[in-house]
Structure 1
Amino acid sequence: MGKDIHSYVTFLLLICILLFSFETIEASKRILSFELIYRHSPRSPVYNPNLTDSQCFEESLRLSEDRFLQPNNVESMLVGHEITTIRPPIICYQTLYMVFVTIGTGNGTIGYHLNLDTGSHLSWTQCKPCINCYVQNEPYFNPLQSPSFVDISCSDQNPCPQSYYHCINSCCHYHIVYIDGSHTSGTLSKDNFGFHSSHGDHLEFIEGLVFGCSHDTHLIGDNHGYPSGLMALGLAEESFAKQLINHGSQGRFSYCLPPIGSNSISFLRFGSNIVQRGSVQTTPIVPIQGVFLYFITLNDISIGNKRLGFEPGMFARKPNGSGGFYVDSGAFITHLITPAFERVKKELRDHFRHKKLVEVDPQRYMTDLKICWLFQPSYESLMPSMTLHLQGAQMHIMWRQLFLIRRDKGIFCFAMLPQDSSSVLGAYQQANTRFTFDLLQSQLAFNPENCEHDSQP
């Protein structure tokens, strides 16, 4: 009898081990990708066909600037149980890309367009019951209709997962206040998410992902009904980037942005769905306590073949939380800390003066960029490139990603701006380069690629 019980228990253990191994293998084989929906593309729910490429550029530029109205250090902004994030207000027109996901199971399954943000810690959508919700075109998520939905519970013995959540009535709550007065609050929850897989329209479902179920959200400005929330890919443990490590992402996600104005489709890829071709370089990601952005080390800049020779520490993170250089696909164009921007602008001014190009007043041409020139015949041969000298790597930015060409007005402008607190590599300069973020190795890999060919999931 004892031997029979022992054999039965052993059999059950073997079955459990086999099931666990099968699930582990299946997770490692899972191939995930999201279509990146550029807000000015025909596939965007807020697409306006009446805008020209130049108008799209200027609108994106103006609205993207609000991303830089932010405190330098999230830790210094903690007040009681509230946390003011280092991110801007969450308004559709202030982000460049959205993704489409489903949340819930059964009759509670709803599809949502979410803003994509590589600098946020918590993904969220608006949920019923709504104490105060902004108007969105997609239905509010109803937790009662999704059998798989659960609130994340807490107690004195079982605290909330991070210090910036607080335990109320045995549930973990969040309250995020943004710099312009926008805010969102709700309960930390779990449910199943559906993503487009590598098999076309087929959805891949992942169980039990942590997200925020917001019941009280106020946004400054009009978002025109989209998006329905946020997908966070920052460095926090509860961001999707970290959570998907356990679901086949191998701790890696990647994107390749087509040039702004292109209607080509591109994808946010995870794990084995990432293919890096050609010359791949890597540079370390520098983690910073309380900050969820992907900081890397920028040492110097070259214009053409001329190295500018910035003093050590020009782009370093300062003790007061300012400074540093980070990669942000949500920022429209690159910003350089003001002294560095002025040095680069002087070098470009000297370069084009030597080439006998005529500098013009940007304000006269209704652009927010800071320095522009008139076209000359065969101007393309006169354009310099830029090299970012990173820790252990050199990132080359070709002239087409360095300047905005305004053929309608006969000018071209330097497509970067100054910024007082820090420097950021924006989407305009990231075009036609594949970026792969490896969270387990804490490194950023990049390689040149024609991103208009990144059209298959």
Structure 2
Amino acid sequence: MALKSMDLIMFLTLSIFTLLSTQTINGFRVELIHPNSLSNPNRNPSTNQFHWIRQAYNNTRSRAASIQSRLGGGSAKFKTDIKSDGGGYVMKYSIGTPPFETYGIADTGSDVTWTQCKPCIECFRQSLPVFDPKNSKSYKTASCDSDACALVGSSVGSCSDQDICQYQLAYGDSSQSIGDVATDTLTIGDASFNNVVFGCGHENSGTFSGNASGIVGLGNSDISIVKQLDKDVGGKFAYCLSSQSDSKSHISFGTDAIVNGPGAVSTPFSIRPDQPTFYYLSLESISVGDQSFPLKQSFSSNVCGRRAGAKKTSSNGNIIIDSGTTLTLIPSDTFDNLKSELTKQISATPIEDPQGLFDLCYSTSDKIEVPKIVAHFSGADVELSPRGSFQEIEEGISCFTIIPDTEIGIAIFGNLSEVDYLVGYDLEAQTVTFKPTDCSKF
């Protein structure tokens, strides 16, 4: 970290990362931008206000298929399936010296932080300026025998003729990002960190339909920002997502990200040793009112969930919590039960989605009352916010944002099911904590 004095050391270590110039002690905070916000650089101004949720449906299924391919196919750990738009929450940060401002999706389902870089051999279109590493005094490419190269996995990509470590991100929809593994100064708000490993992409193609520059990896493996900044953040981060595009959402790091107090509930997460990116939770059942519907516990991890001060115990995980996926995807039999029960408890008559995507929709003129829907995780009951459970997909039509997995074979707890909660990750204790919160005031 660049320092001028001992006072500055303490300030940067304890300050909040914020776009709002808000400062508190013992943590770092930055604003997250809703995918449909007018201030979101990913948002295409030529599309209507409902385009993002339509796009999120397709992206959720594509993303789930890619994750399943990685888990089942033993693919290299550097492969990812992240898209740069379509329902993700955007985080502002800077790369280089002097700091070059850019945006990336804050994503717990990815490890590698990357951005498009000049020279662009092939780059997808973005409205933001493209990072030019020649303008950064602190930018360094990683040699093929460096620790930085080893951190991202030398089995992926290649070594250039100039002994520069290359990376290659393979996407499930045939999109890709190829470039140099590099280190540079990462700046968030008022604080800077030296020698952060990231991907500088020179060949980026496929179905990147937004104007984003890349992603910010918050996964569990060593290349993620959370792990690289471990001495400063202690393996802790927390985000609070608002369902309203005109409200602010935030993500915090460090001791300021400890989630506790009244209403907070915790559940252990599990990690697959061969795919350490993903945070697996054990979702035992989902209830609608007094009716509960169990889920199969189909995945067992060799790495157990832990609580602070407790010994490792066996822990199953059957659903991935993923801030980069918008909708929640569950087994079709459980979904059918939920749908049937919701239609019983909601007095209005369901209507069809004109595009035939969403399975349960109502007219907004009916002003439906959403019954209590609770996700019962191991040790934690999380009541889903009605504002996240149903979203208006086009004028006059609101649909259920939990969708069935009809053929992919994976379950994902998406960000709409997490809205209006402060969600804290503790990589030391291996827990995820949920606390009901007005995220516009967090």
* Structure 1 length-normalised TM: 0.79
Aligned residue among 73, 90, 98 for 1:98: 90
Which residue matches 2:66?
70
* 1:338 corresponding residue in structure 2: 332
Q: Does 1:438 align with 2:429?
A: no
The structure 1 residue matched to 2:360, chosen from 368, 371, 377, is: 371
Q: How does 1:44-443 map to 2 (within 5 A)?
A: 44-47=40-43, 53-74=49-70, 77=73, 85-88=79-82, 90-92=83-85, 94-106=86-98, 109-155=99-145, 160-161=150-151, 162-165=153-156, 168=159, 169=161, 170-196=163-189, 203-223=190-210, 226-246=211-231, 248-259=232-243, 261-274=244-257, 276=259, 277-291=261-275, 292-310=277-295, 312-313=296-297, 316=299, 324-352=318-346, 355=347, 357-360=348-351, 362-363=352-353, 365-366=354-355, 368-373=357-362, 379-380=368-369, 383-404=370-391, 408-409=395-396, 412-419=398-405, 420-443=408-431
Q: Confirm or deny: 8 A CA contact 1:40 1:48 kept in the other structure.
A: no
Do 1:165 and 1:172's aligned partners in 2 also have CA atoms closer than 8 Å?
no
Secondary structure of 2:339's partner? helix
Q: Where in structure 2 are there 5+ consecutive unaligned residues? A: 17-27, 303-316
CA contact (8 A) 1:83 1:177 kept: no
CA distance in 2, matches of 1:316, 1:75: 11
Give the counterpart letter for 2:349 in structure 1. Answer: V
TM-fit CA distance, 1:412: 4.5
Q: Tell me how large the CA RMSD over aligned residues is.
A: 3.2
Shift of 1:290: 3.2
- Equivalents in 2 of 1:63, 1:406: separation in Å? 15
**How far apart, CA to CA, are the structure 2 residues paired with 1:339 and 1:137?**
43
TM-fit CA distance, 1:428: 1.6
Distance apart, 1:138 and its partner CA: 3.2
The equivalent of 1:15 in structure 2 is none
1:102 alignment partner AA: S
Higher helix share: 1
Aligned partners of 2:175 and 2:332: how far apart in 1? 28
Q: 3-state SS of the aligned residue for 1:452?
A: coil
- Measure, in 2, the Cα distance between the counterparts of 1:374 and 1:139: 42
Structure number, greater radius of gyration: 1
User: Are the structure 2 counterparts of residues 212 and 156 from structure 1 closer, same or farther at C-alpha, using a change threshold of 3 Å?
Assistant: closer
SS in structure 2 opposite 1:343? helix
Structure 1 residues 408 and 99, CA, compared in 2 at 3 Å: closer, same or farther? Answer: closer
Contact 1:91 1:219 in 2 (8 A): no
Q: How many Å separate the matches in 1 of 2:126 and 2:433?
A: 37
State whether residues 298 and 390 of structure 1, in contact with CA within 8 Å, keep that contact through their aligned partners in structure 2.
Answer: yes
Letter in 2 for 1:96: G
CA distance in 2: counterparts of 1:77 and 1:378, whole angstroms: 45
Distance across 1 between alignment mates of 2:71 and 2:394: 46
How many percent of aligned residue pairs carry the same amino acid?
A: 24
TM-score by length of 2: 0.81
Question: Where does residue 3 of structure 1 map in the other structure?
Answer: none
Instruction: Give the CA deviation at 1:286.
Output: 0.6
Give the AA of the match of 1:402. Answer: S
What letter is aligned with 2:36?
A: H
Distance 2:339 2:326 in 1: 19
Question: Quick one: structure 1 residues 175 and 86, their matched pair in 2 at CA, closer, same or farther if it must change by over 3 Å?
Answer: closer
Equivalent residues, number:
407
- Please list the CA deviations of residues 27-46 of structure 1 after superposition, one character each: whole Å capped at 9, or x if unmatched: 65243222212231121124
Structure 1 76/427 Cα, relative in aligned 2: closer, same or farther at 3 Å? closer
Provide the C-alpha distance between the structure 2 equivalents of 1:239 and 1:59, rounded to a whole number of angstroms.
Answer: 27
Aligned equivalents of 2:45, 2:115: Cα separation in 1: 28
Q: For the residues of structure 1 that align with 2:51 and 2:319, how far apart are their CA atoms? A: 28
- How far apart, in 2, do the equivalents of 1:49 and 1:253 lie? 32
CA distance in 2, matches of 1:309, 1:140: 48
Using the TM superposition, give the Cα deviation of residue 119 of structure 1 relative to its aligned residue in structure 2, in angstroms: 0.9
Cα contact 1:336–1:422 (8 A) shared by 2: yes
SS at match of 2:358: coil
Q: Secondary structure at the match of 1:342?
A: helix
| Aligned-partner Cα distance in 1 for 2:376–2:62 | 28
Q: Which amino acid aligns with 2:198?
A: F
Is the 2:421–2:436 contact (alpha carbons within 8 Å) kept by the matching residues of 1? Answer: yes
Q: Is the 8 A contact 2:267 2:379 kept in 1?
A: yes
CA distance in 2, matches of 1:53, 1:220: 21
Q: 1:329-365: CA deviations, max 9, x gaps?
A: 222221112222122222223334xx4x3233x13x4
Contact 2:183 2:195 in 1 (8 A): yes
Q: Partners in 2 of 1:316 and 1:76 — Cα distance?
A: 12
CA distance in 2, matches of 1:69, 1:278: 38
